[in-house]
């Protein structure tokens, strides 16, 4: 009988201790708040992960550009899905940074802003912040500031337009010295 009382007392103490621990360390609940507009835009951009090919149209036409070059773009989600890496190069060129352009752009959410940093072949790093279209299919980035020199100009604007899962466009505006904009329109299809 004594051992039964001890066991019941011990069981009651264990129950009280378990209850006290549970109250002091409530179970983590899933965050029920809706994602911010920046997070929604970032999630949309992440659906573009993969390889893309397409043509580039430049306006106004540039004397050193012949025709409409083909472009190859890769996008990769990294850093536990907290960053998206965007790399572009002229299709068919080797990865040789001493001879060919190969800019890299990083996308990430910074507080309530979808941000990009473009690591440009011009030797600078413009930073831009996104604004969304009402339909959620267009993400437009506006210039905020830049690190590095501006001797050769800098990237000043970018627009991503989702057409469908296998087709999107990118419009990049490069600001030449003297504030002369050059726009590159890229019509990209997912590589098969």
pLDDT tens per residue, range 40-52 = 999 999 999 999 9
CATH architecture under which domain 37-190 falls = Beta Barrel (2.40)
Q: pLDDT tens digits for 25-80? A: 444 445 568 889 999 999 999 999 999 999 999 998 877 766 668 899 999 999 99
Rounded CA-CA distance 15/96 in Å is: 67
pTM for the model: 0.80
109: closest CA among 49, 42, 167, 188? Answer: 42
Count of Cβ atoms closer than 10 Å to residue 136 Cβ: 12
| CA–CA distance, 78 with 172 (Å, rounded to integer) | 23
Give yes or no for a contact between 106 and 84, defined as CB atoms under 8 angstroms apart. yes
The total number of residues written for the chain in this structure: 192
pLDDT tens, 129-175? 999 777 889 999 999 999 999 999 999 999 999 999 999 999 999 99
């Amino acid at each position: 009988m004594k051992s039964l009382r001890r066991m019941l007392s011990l069981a009651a103490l264990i129950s009280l201790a378990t209850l006290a621990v549970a109250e002091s360390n409530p179970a983590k609940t899933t965050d029920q708040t809706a994602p911010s507009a920046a997070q929604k835009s970032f999630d949309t951009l992440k659906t573009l992960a993969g390889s893309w090919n397409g043509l580039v149209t430049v306006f106004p036409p540039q004397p050193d550009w012949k025709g409409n070059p083909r472009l190859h773009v890769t996008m990769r989600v990294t850093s536990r899905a907290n960053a998206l890496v965007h790399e572009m190069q002229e299709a068919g060129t080797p990865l040789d940074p001493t001879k060919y352009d190969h800019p890299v752009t990083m996308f990430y959410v910074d507080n309530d802003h979808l941000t990009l940093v473009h690591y440009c072949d011009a030797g600078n790093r413009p930073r831009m912040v996104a604004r969304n279209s009402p339909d959620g299919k267009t993400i437009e980035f506006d210039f905020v500031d830049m690190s590095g020199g501006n001797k050769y100009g800098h990237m000043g604007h970018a627009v991503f337009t989702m057409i469908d899962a296998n087709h999107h466009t990118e419009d990049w505006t490069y600001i030449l010295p003297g504030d002369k904009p050059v726009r590159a329109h890229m019509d990209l299809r997912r590589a098969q």
